[in-house]
Structure 1
Amino acid sequence: MVKLTNYSREEYKQYLISKIDDQDTTSVYDTLMDLHPTDRAEIYKELNKEQREFVHKLLVPKELGEVFEQLETEEQEQLLEEVDEQYAATMFDDMYADDAADFLAEMNDEKARDILSSMEDEEAEEVRELMAYDEETAGALMTKEFIALHAKDTVSSVLERLRKEAPDAETIYYLYVVDDNNKLAGVVSLRDLITADPADYVEKPMSTRVVSVEAEEDQEDVARLIKKYDFLAVPVVTKQNTLVGIITVDDILDVVEEETEEDFGEISATRGSLDAKISSFGAAKKRAPWIIMLMFLGLVTANVIDQFEETLEAVVILAAFIPLIMDSAGNTGTQALAVVVRRLAIGDVEKGQIGKMVRREFGTGVYLGIFCAITIMILIPLLYGNFVLAGVVGASIFITLSVATIVGAVIPLIINKLKIDPAVASGPFITTLNDVIGLMVYFTIATSLLQYL
């Protein structure tokens, strides 16, 4: 159970709600502000309208903004409807620009313009700048709340400045150094500043080997870079190397979750319907295109079986192994698909390694085919007393699994080469394709050996 200080979240919630109902201003304020913003938001979600209104009156806009940032979009919209326009404008002024931009990007244009027009000019301009970048780029993800230094600043002056400005900055663990033209020149850590001689200039402890990303870079590439270097933050620059913002690791964690959910939705053909809040009808609408397409592909499978009707009529027992062939092919192909898509997603496929990866997956399929073929060729004679049938099924399993891994590995690589998200090579699609291949192999072998069955 999650503990908040010495109590569970449920105990804290019940205590806080009782104090809100008692209109105990001091206890409610002290209890709320003692909690992490995430815990405040979790408890806020449990309040009814009257209780929320009490909290709105109790907290200043900046404090309520910390709760607002932790809410889902629908909950944020509800909060805005319950506070007056001036309060909301002040709240947005005090929020980090990237959080405000994320919310306003979800609003319709008219509502977003109204909120921006009510904000302070400087804060509104920062939000507009972030909203101008394409979605899922470094520019759209970055924050403008950072502290930039100059090489000729003294360490003591920087430390004094941090005491005043740090509360409004997204992070101070890395501080970026710019020249007179605001071009990125170096980076210095807070640890290096604290341990440096106060009389030294910043240029002494700073490093000029700075890893940065351009504002138009894809957010997945930024996530991979931060993971590679174990950064807490990374600077964002223009093509001219002008420092325009920073991206912190907490925003990257959101990106990783978002991209993982997107890939999972693509692979399982459920993209857009993973949200627990979506209705059954809404989920069905989003899944229907894939299901209908796969249904038509299923007709191809039915047609394959129909083409070998005479073989089935001659040896009816062959029908018993159709599910086995289809399931084995689909499962093996989906495994290969998952491996390749995952490696592509984390950027683990370098130029020149594609052939090696495909060969590995093919080898895996061959070994799986051998293991499964041996197993089935032992079981069928024991159960059905037919060694030829065992050979047909065993050979079919071996060939099918070998081919299925190639299909599962190569298709996402081709799609990726075409600059399309490889996850769209969904599991159901690969499964259906391998079903067709497996049946073709199975019935071709069975037909050629029909006189011996």
Structure 2
Amino acid sequence: MANDSNTPDEITEDMRDEISEHAKKLVDNLEHGDEQAFLEGFDELHGYDQGQFYLNLPPQLRQQVIDWLSPKQLADVFDDIPLDDDDVDPDELLKEMSPQYASEMLDQMYSDNSVDLLEQLNAHDLRMYLSLMPVDDAKAIRELLNYDEDTAGSLMSHDYIGINQQLTIPEAMHAVKQAAKDAEQITYIYVMDDEDNLVGVVSLRSLMLADDNLMLQDIMDTNIIAVTPDEDQEQVAHLMADYNLTSLPVVENDKLLGIIMVDDIVDVIDEEATEDYSRLAGVNVDNNDENPLKSALTRLPWLIGLIFLGMGTASVIDSYDTVVAAAPVLAVFISLITGTAGNAGTQSLAVAVRRLAFKESASLWKMLVQEILIGFTIGVAAGITIFAVVAVWKHNLLLGLAVGLAMGIAILVANVAGAFIPIIMDAIGVDPAVASGPFISTLSDLTSVLIYFNIAELFIKVFGGIS
């Protein structure tokens, strides 16, 4: 029997084809001046697709869209445009509109998205757009713009629903319905006392299921999970993930300043992951600059630093030239031992950085014992393997034993170093992700060479030679 079901990839491809055909019709509507057909078709697109469609239009057709859409309608489109994308130039997009239209559109956007857009403008344009907004709205946006980047305050929005605890359930439902059209989310309703202090939170579900004879204060949850505006965005992301929240209140002196939405936290998680990966790799992976010279210049400082660190390894090898001269075959296995130990150290580093990033706590001694056991197990397995390979390949049990023992100890040391260097850096206030893969690998090279040649030298002295 034929299988009529589509795989997820096929479904995605079908959706893309459908959107593409729909977009062609919309472009045709624009070119032929069919406003009604365009507005009906444009409204059928998902918000993200509306944003992508708008961005991909040539300026003259975008101007037609601006003429046909109200500032509120275009604000909904801009709310779904990824403003952190390198291909998006907010300044250019805004200058295609009249200043009055642009300022009204910015005012109609959710405040967190409006702030994200405005902070990318120069000071002159920023002042111009704010001066054209209603005074109270401009003041609220200025307050958000004043918060430091990467803090809870810079992520929050003013578009929440807050109502008084003294309302009855029917009154609260009516208030929510009235405020919902301007709120970014209505999953949670924030409850205030007469002094406008945040005293509780109610989910929309709880509100809908509550007895009409009760008051809002009877059903609100007073165990409020909140953050202050200066809280680091990474801590905010962990908190929302831990408590499975779709929004999080930002509070100062019991006053609700705003809320942080889960869609902003998704962006934070992506940003933090990119930042950590960049440091682990020793390069900015988010840099899409196509200029080879500029890209090379951003990577060179780290690589030059590693060259000097690597010179330490070269110096160690040079200092053991008499050992290599006595047993030249030792040189064959240098890269094998250093490479394997470096890989083990990098694996341990990745686990340690993740543990620190997610604040997974464990006692230092417990971690030490755990990493020693892991390193010992891996080292023994790798050491036995290379012992057998070298013994059979070179028909030399002593050489195999020396190489195997050196590899096992080098892996153990690299594993413990990879786990504890980030912990030490975190303890002294340095970002542990800076203990990057290239750094750990180069450090492992140095320790591995020292271990290898000391063991080899010992074998030569005790057994009279291993060649």
- Aligned equivalents of 1:123 and 1:112: distance in 2? 14
On the 8 A contact 1:4/1:12 being kept in 2, the answer is no
- Aligned equivalents of 1:114 and 1:312: distance in 2? 73
Q: In the alignment, which of 259, 276, 288 is matched to residue 246 of structure 1?
A: 259
Q: In the alignment, which of 450, 458, 462 is matched to residue 440 of structure 1?
A: 450
Question: Within the alignment, does 1:187 sit opposite 2:198 as a pair?
Answer: no
Name whichever of 273-282 and 311-320 sits farther off.
273-282
- Aligned equivalents of 1:6 and 1:68: distance in 2? 21
Which residue of structure 1 aligns with residue 24 of structure 2? 14
Question: Within the alignment, does 1:374 sit opposite 2:384 as a pair?
Answer: yes
- 5+ residue gaps, structure 1: none
Aligned-residue RMSD, C-alpha: 1.7
Question: Within the alignment, does 1:209 sit opposite 2:220 as a pair?
Answer: no
- Aligned equivalents of 2:401 and 2:374: distance in 1? 21
In the TM superposition, residue 4 of structure 1 has moved relative to its aligned partner by: 8.4
- Aligned equivalents of 1:333 and 1:430: distance in 2? 6
Question: Within the alignment, does 1:267 sit opposite 2:280 as a pair?
Answer: yes
Q: In the alignment, which of 63, 72, 92 is matched to residue 78 of structure 1?
A: 92
On the 8 A contact 2:326/2:465 being kept in 1, the answer is no
- Aligned equivalents of 1:395 and 1:372: distance in 2? 9
- Give the 3 Å change call, closer, same or farther, for CA 406–131 of structure 1 in structure 2: same
In the TM superposition, residue 181 of structure 1 has moved relative to its aligned partner by: 2.1
Question: Within the alignment, does 1:196 sit opposite 2:206 as a pair?
Answer: no
Question: Within the alignment, does 1:304 sit opposite 2:304 as a pair?
Answer: no
Q: Deviations over 1:98-123 (max 9, x none)?
A: 11112222233333222222222111
In the TM superposition, residue 354 of structure 1 has moved relative to its aligned partner by: 3.3
On the 8 A contact 2:78/2:109 being kept in 1, the answer is no
On the 8 A contact 2:281/2:438 being kept in 1, the answer is yes
On the 8 A contact 1:3/1:9 being kept in 2, the answer is no
Amino acid of the structure 2 residue aligned with 1:416? D
Q: In the alignment, which of 147, 151, 154 is matched to residue 161 of structure 2?
A: 147
- 3-state SS of paired residue (1:175): strand
On the 8 A contact 2:383/2:405 being kept in 1, the answer is yes
Which residue of structure 2 aligns with residue 326 of structure 1? 338
- 5+ residue gaps, structure 2: 1-10
- Aligned equivalents of 1:104 and 1:418: distance in 2? 36
Q: Normalization by structure 2: what TM-score? A: 0.92
- Aligned equivalents of 2:43 and 2:172: distance in 1? 29
- Aligned equivalents of 2:250 and 2:459: distance in 1? 66
- Aligned equivalents of 2:216 and 2:255: distance in 1? 19
Which residue of structure 1 aligns with residue 7 of structure 2? none
- Give the 3 Å change call, closer, same or farther, for CA 312–320 of structure 1 in structure 2: same
- Aligned equivalents of 2:423 and 2:21: distance in 1? 52
Q: In the alignment, which of 367, 370, 375 is matched to residue 365 of structure 1?
A: 375
Name whichever of 62-71 and 426-435 sits farther off.
62-71
How much identity, in percent, do the aligned residues show?
37
- 3-state SS of paired residue (1:214): coil
Aligned residue pair count? 449
Amino acid of the structure 1 residue aligned with 2:418? G
- Aligned equivalents of 1:131 and 1:157: distance in 2? 35
Q: Deviations over 1:185-210 (max 9, x none)?
A: 11111011111123421011111111
Which residue of structure 1 aligns with residue 4 of structure 2? none
Q: In the alignment, which of 359, 364, 367 is matched to residue 347 of structure 1?
A: 359
- Give the 3 Å change call, closer, same or farther, for CA 2–16 of structure 1 in structure 2: farther
- Aligned equivalents of 1:399 and 1:5: distance in 2? 55
Q: Deviations over 1:212-271 (max 9, x none)?
A: 111111111111111111111111101x22111111111111111111111111111113
Q: Deviations over 1:370-401 (max 9, x none)?
A: 00011011111111111111011101111000
Amino acid of the structure 1 residue aligned with 2:175? R
On the 8 A contact 2:289/2:295 being kept in 1, the answer is no
In the TM superposition, residue 277 of structure 1 has moved relative to its aligned partner by: 4.6
Question: Within the alignment, does 1:87 sit opposite 2:96 as a pair?
Answer: no
- Aligned equivalents of 2:94 and 2:412: distance in 1? 58
